[in-house]
Amino acid sequence: MAQNPLPFYERVEQALNDAQLQAALQKAAGKFDLARMRAWDELDDVVAMRDRAKGVKAHTLAHLDRYLAQLAAALRAAGGQVHFAADAAEVQAIVTGIVRAAGHDLVVKSKSMTSEEVGLNGALAAAGVRAVETDLGEYIIQLAGETPSHIVAPAIHKSREEVAALFSQVAGRPLADADIPTLTAVAREELRRQFLAAGVGISGVNFAVAETGTLVTVTNEGNGRLVTSVPPIHIALMGMEKAVPTLNDLMLLLELLPRSATGQTITSYVQMVTGPRRAGEVDGPEQLHLVILDNGRSDLLGTEFEESLQCLRCGACLNVCPVYRLIGGHAYGGVYSGPIGAAQSPLLFGQRDFADLPQASTLCGACRDVCPVRIDIPRMLLALRRRQAEGTAVSAEKIAFRAYSQITRKPGRYRAAVRLGGAGLWLWARDGRIRRGPGPLKGWTRVRDLRPFARRPFLGRRKDEG
Ligand code: SF4
- Asked whether residue 380 is domain-assigned, the answer is no
Residue 320's closest CA among 302, 332, 338, 297? 338
- Predicted local confidence at residue 401, as pLDDT: 83
Residue 303 near residue 293, CB atoms below 8 Å? no
- Predicted local confidence at residue 274, as pLDDT: 97
For residues 416 and 120, what is the distance between their CA atoms, to the nearest angstrom? 61
Residues in contact with ligand 1 by the CB-under-6-Å rule are: 151, 260, 311-317, 340, 370-373, 375
Q: How many Å is the Cα radius of gyration of the chain?
A: 25
Strands (E), 19-129: 81-85, 106-109
Distance 376 CA to ligand 1 centre (A): 10
Distance 308 CA to ligand 1 centre (A): 9
Query: Does residue 236 share a domain with residue 105?
Result: yes
Residue 136 near residue 161, CB atoms below 8 Å? no
- Asked whether residue 356 is domain-assigned, the answer is no
- Count of beta carbons in the 10 Å neighbourhood of residue 235: 29
N- to C-terminal Cα separation, the chain: 61
Helix, coil or strand: residue 167 = helix
Query: Does residue 292 share a domain with residue 417?
Result: no
Domain C-terminal end among 298, 327, 357: 298
Q: Which atom of ligand 1 is nearest to the CA of 374?
A: 2
- Predicted local confidence at residue 370, as pLDDT: 98
- Asked whether residue 33 is domain-assigned, the answer is no
- Predicted local confidence at residue 128, as pLDDT: 97
Helix, coil or strand: residue 262 = coil
Question: Which amino acid does the sequence have at 314?
Answer: C
Residues 6+ apart with CB under 8 A from 133: 109, 111, 121, 139, 141, 142
What's 215's domain CATH number?
3.40.50.10420
Query: Does residue 278 share a domain with residue 403?
Result: no
Q: How far apart, in Å, are the Cα atoms of 301 and each of 91, 294, 304, 306, 369?
A: 21, 11, 8, 5, 23
For residues 175 and 180, what is the distance between their CA atoms, to the nearest angstrom? 10
Distance 312 CA to ligand 1 centre (A): 6
Q: Are β-strands 214-219 and 207-209 bridged in parallel, bridged antiparallel, or unpaired?
A: antiparallel
Distance 91 CA to ligand 1 centre (A): 25
- Asked whether residue 368 is domain-assigned, the answer is no
For residues 382 and 321, what is the distance between their CA atoms, to the nearest angstrom? 16
For residues 194 and 363, what is the distance between their CA atoms, to the nearest angstrom? 45
Pocket test for ligand 1, best of 51, 218, 313, 347 (most atoms within 8 A of CB): 313
Distance 19 CA to ligand 1 centre (A): 27
Distance 316 CA to ligand 1 centre (A): 6
- Asked whether residue 387 is domain-assigned, the answer is no
For residues 422 and 91, what is the distance between their CA atoms, to the nearest angstrom? 58
What domain range is 430 assigned to? Answer: 396-465
Domain C-terminal end among 298, 323, 343: 298
- Count of beta carbons in the 10 Å neighbourhood of residue 196: 11
Residue 138 near residue 187, CB atoms below 8 Å? no
- Asked whether residue 317 is domain-assigned, the answer is no
Query: Does residue 402 share a domain with residue 289?
Result: no
Q: How far apart, in Å, are the Cα atoms of 42 and each of 37, 299, 317, 370, 426?
A: 9, 38, 20, 15, 55
- Predicted local confidence at residue 24, as pLDDT: 87
- For 208-277, give the DSSP string: EETTTTEEEEEESSTHHHHHHHSSSEEEEEEEGGGEES-HHHHHHHHHHHHHHHTS-SS-SEEEEE-SSP
**From atom 3 of ligand 1, which residue's Cα is the shortest distance away?**
371
- Predicted local confidence at residue 394, as pLDDT: 62
For residues 9 and 29, what is the distance between their CA atoms, to the nearest angstrom? 22
For residues 466 and 453, what is the distance between their CA atoms, to the nearest angstrom? 21
For residues 310 and 302, what is the distance between their CA atoms, to the nearest angstrom? 13
Distance 315 CA to ligand 1 centre (A): 6
Q: What is the DSSP-derived secondary structure letter of residue 151?
A: S
pTM of full prediction above 0.85: yes
Domain total for the chain? Answer: 2
For residues 166 and 111, what is the distance between their CA atoms, to the nearest angstrom? 19
- Asked whether residue 441 is domain-assigned, the answer is yes
Q: Give pLDDT tens digits along the chain (466 positions).
A: 556 678 898 999 999 999 888 888 888 888 999 999 999 999 999 999 999 999 999 999 999 999 999 999 999 999 999 999 999 999 999 999 999 999 999 999 999 999 999 999 999 999 999 999 999 999 999 999 999 999 899 999 998 999 999 999 999 999 999 999 999 999 999 999 999 999 999 999 999 999 999 999 999 998 999 999 999 999 999 999 999 999 999 999 999 999 999 999 999 999 999 999 999 998 899 999 999 999 999 999 999 999 999 999 999 999 999 999 999 999 999 999 999 999 999 999 998 889 999 999 999 999 999 999 999 999 999 999 998 887 665 667 778 888 889 999 998 998 888 888 888 888 888 888 888 888 777 777 877 788 888 877 777 777 766 6
- Predicted local confidence at residue 332, as pLDDT: 96
Query: Does residue 286 share a domain with residue 432?
Result: no
Pocket test for ligand 1, best of 371, 376, 377, 381 (most atoms within 8 A of CB): 371
Distance 340 CA to ligand 1 centre (A): 6
Residue 94 near residue 238, CB atoms below 8 Å? no
- Predicted local confidence at residue 395, as pLDDT: 65
Query: Does residue 437 share a domain with residue 292?
Result: no
Q: How far apart, in Å, are the Cα atoms of 356 and each of 8, 96, 259, 436?
A: 7, 34, 31, 20
Q: Which atom of ligand 1 is nearest to the CA of 338?
A: 4
**From atom 2 of ligand 1, which residue's Cα is the shortest distance away?**
371
Residue 86's closest CA among 298, 343, 256? 298
Q: Which atom of ligand 1 is nearest to the CA of 339?
A: 4
For residues 75 and 331, what is the distance between their CA atoms, to the nearest angstrom? 39
Query: Does residue 278 share a domain with residue 144?
Result: yes
Q: Which atom of ligand 1 is nearest to the CA of 340?
A: 1
Query: Does residue 248 share a domain with residue 119?
Result: yes
**From atom 6 of ligand 1, which residue's Cα is the shortest distance away?**
311
Q: Can you say whether the dihedral through the CA atoms of 30, 36, 42, 43 is positive or negative?
A: negative
- Predicted local confidence at residue 246, as pLDDT: 98
Distance 341 CA to ligand 1 centre (A): 10
**From atom 8 of ligand 1, which residue's Cα is the shortest distance away?**
314
- Asked whether residue 352 is domain-assigned, the answer is no
Residue 184's closest CA among 147, 221, 151? 221
Domain C-terminal end among 281, 298, 315: 298
- Predicted local confidence at residue 390, as pLDDT: 79
